[in-house]
Amino acid sequence: MSVHPPSSFSNTFAEFFAGIGLMRLGLEQAGWKIMFANDIDPVKQKIYLNHFKDKQNHFQLGDIHELLSQEIPTVTLATASFPCTDLSLAGRREGLTGKNSSAYWGFVKVLKEMENRKPRIVLLENVEGFLTSNGGKDFKEALLALNELGYAVDAFIVDASKFVPQSRVRLFVVGKRIATSNNVVNSPQLSFYQSEVRPQKLADFILSNPDINWSIRQLGGLPKRSNTLIDIVDDTANDSAEWWNEDRVLYLLEQTYERHRNIIESAKSRDEYSYFTAFRRVRNGKSMAEIRSDGIAGCLRTPKGGSARQILLKVGFGEIKIRLLSPRECARLMGADDYLIASSTNEALFGFGDAVCVPVVKWIAEHYLNPLVNELNSKLQLVESQYGSYEYSTISSGI
């Protein structure tokens, strides 16, 4: 039996490794419609369902390796923010064979089993370390797996600090089921593709791997962020119990590098408040507090240990006040200002620390995904006008 394609490709998507749904928020702001969501974590599911009041519950809890392809609706886009644990410096660099990051192969399995219903587009998101994990072998293996499924691939890197006051560098991959030859230019200069979203190390990877089926798309410049840390902090009263006591403040300051302590002391004498953030890190076997004073927060992390909680310093008028970042502040740093938070502090921090930045996703959708869908639909209309009725297999190989 012939399987005919739709008259157009709609802006519908399935969200794998959905977490608390920030990928969904960004896509919805750019006109996309959720059809399916999956995650293995029941706490994230609880947070997700508490915020999204869908009439139809499309969130399926469970291991992606055990998903059945017939349970997944036909969509234009599939997203996968798969676990970064084994790809980041914070992990053990076990790569795509690691206990957590190997979930990527579950995603590949789902796509393969969908056969002719495979989404036209896939969007991967992970830490920048994915590019260099196992000397680049993991990244290459992941892209070749998409090639085998019929996807030509593109890659770019975006730092959320272009949108929100948080340093959060992430690597994105777009896979496109289009009939295309490898469009990598054989240039003697490895920096040929270098740009704001493709730094030299990524540009070099692209040109050093011509056996990967690439489909590189030009992307415009990223926006210039208009807010700073002071714009996202809660208005916490100076006498609030959230602020640390004097002994705890002194203990943190004693862990601070001298150059950072000098910055704090200088700000203390001003007749205005300055806001800094800090993380505790072990340096040479000693716990140190590293202060960030450039108006943006460090990258949010999941609170698996005490050192993972980001610290806020409010300094000025002769005072140094210190507390932990609140869940609402973390939501703002992820561009999810109005997200409904009804879970415990640790649950909320885990959800936001393990998510994607909403305005980054919106930008990718508006500047990459939406134009791509429009082009697919234009080609579809052209084929229809020339050939009339056709089989899905024909359109799959021709667009």
Of 183-197, 244-258, 295-309, give the lowest mean pLDDT range.
183-197
What is the C-alpha separation between 51 and 145, in angstroms, rounded? 34
pLDDT at 2: 37
Sequence ranges of the domains in the chain: 12-222+355-398, 235-325
The alpha carbon torsion through 340, 342, 343, 346 (nearest 10 deg) reads: 60
User: Hunting for tokens 């990258």 — which residue is that?
Assistant: 299
pLDDT number for residue 1: 33
- Give the model confidence (pLDDT) of 344-358 as tens digits: 999 999 999 999 999
Q: Distance (Å, rounded) from C-alpha 204 to C-alpha 225?
A: 28
| Residues linked to residue 36 through DSSP beta bridges, in sequence order | 14
Whether domain 12-222+355-398 has CATH 3.90.230.10: the reply is: no
Q: 266-285: per-residue pLDDT in tens? A: 999 999 999 999 998 888 88
Give residue 315's pLDDT. Answer: 97
Q: What is the mean pLDDT of the chain?
A: 88
| Whole-angstrom distance, CA of residue 108 vs CA of residue 149 | 8
CB 277 within 8 A of CB 301: no
pLDDT score at 148 = 95
Task: Specify the pLDDT at position 84.
Answer: 62
Residue 368 per-residue DSSP state: I
pLDDT at residue 187, as a whole number: 56
> In residues, how long is the chain?
399
Q: Residues with Cβ < 8 Å from 142, sequence gap 6 or more?
A: 96, 104, 124, 130, 173
Say how far residue 276 (Cα) sits from the centre of its chain.
Answer: 24
Q: Classify residue 174 by its DSSP letter.
A: E
pTM over 0.85: yes
**Tokens linked to 10:** 């709609």
Residue for token pair 């359109």: 395
- The predicted structure's pLDDT at residue 189: 59
Mean pLDDT of 238-255: 96
Query: Quick one: pLDDT at residue 57?
Result: 79
Q: Kindly tell me if the per-residue pLDDT of 204 is higher than 50.
A: yes
Q: Which two tokens stand for residue 322?
A: 């210190």
- Residue 358 contacts by C-beta under 8 Å, 6 or more apart in sequence? 22, 25, 26, 29, 334, 335, 336
Q: How far is CA 375 from CA 180, 184, 277, in A?
A: 14, 20, 44
Confidence check: pLDDT of 165 > 90: yes
- Where would I find the H helices in 164-233? 200-208
Q: Which residue has the tokens 């219903």?
A: 117
Q: Are residues 47 and 353 in contact, defined by beta-carbon separation less than 8 angstroms?
A: no
Please state whether beta strands 169-176 and 152-159 pair in parallel, antiparallel, or not at all (unpaired): antiparallel
Rounded to an integer, what is the distance from CA 320 to the centroid of its chain?
34
